[in-house]
Amino acid sequence: MPEIQRANLPPALLAHLLDRVAERNITKDDLMQVLHWIEENPIVPEGDWFKRFGRVTVCGKGALIKTFLSPEHVAIGKEVE
């Protein structure tokens, strides 16, 4: 099972993540919660997964974070604790 990839993200993916942060009004506090979790080097499933953080849900696939969701969106995959 992989750890979250923190460096050398594909440029298109990084642009997508930044767009989602802006579009979904994700706050600095929300992002700090996500950052603290990533700094713990969590192990995530190989396939689709998600992790809830109050007002934001992080979705990924394997080692990559793929998007950020607002509370009204439905996440798919295995929920990570």
The secondary element (H helix, E strand) that includes residue 27 is none
- Profile the chain (81 residues) by mean pLDDT over runs of 10 residues: 91 96 94 95 96 95 97 96 89
Sign of the Cα pseudo-torsion (62, 68, 70, 73, in order): negative
Residue type, 30: D
Q: What is the pTM of this model?
A: 0.91
Phi and psi at residue 34, in whole multiples of 5°?
Answer: -65, -45
- So what's the pLDDT on residue 54? 87
For 9-24, what is each residue's pLDDT tens digit?
Answer: 999 999 999 999 999 9
Residue 56: closest CA among 18, 24, 23, 15: 24
- So what's the pLDDT on residue 1? 80
Residue type, 42: P
